[in-house]
Amino acid sequence: MLAVAEPREFWRSSFAERHNIPSASVFDDWRELAEHSKLADAVVIATQDTAHTAPAVAFAEKGYHVLLEKPMAPTAAECRQIGRKQVSCSVFAMCCGTRPTHGN
């Protein structure tokens, strides 16, 4: 099952249309999705860097494995908070990023 939570209407509707996501699985905010019953095994969190911690913790508590864009969080304390939550909830929390291509 796919879902999308995106505050910008254009990007939200474009993504939903491109991936055939039903309207019941389209949300204006990650908090709405977090309040919904679990829809998938994992979630990708692509919020602003300073806003990773709250959704990472909330989705781990719901039993989602979490993939975060880098950086994981802006402070070491928030990174530890995410790490502790993933351990206590028995889910994976992973961090990914892209490597610059330098125009290639």
Nearest to 22 by CA among 36, 31, 35: 36
Sign of CA dihedral 40, 95, 45, 58: positive
> What are the residue ranges spanned by the domains of the chain?
1-38, 41-98
State pLDDT tens for residues 31-40: 999 999 999 9
Tokens in use for 39?
């829809």
95 CB burial (10 A radius; 0-12, 13-18, 19+): middle
CATH 3.30.565.10, domain 41-98, yes or no: no
State pLDDT tens for residues 61-98: 999 999 998 889 999 999 999 999 999 999 998 988 76
Q: Are 81 and 71 in contact (CB under 8 A)?
A: no
Nearest to 28 by CA among 52, 53, 50, 11: 11
Tokens in use for 55?
């959704």
pTM: 0.87
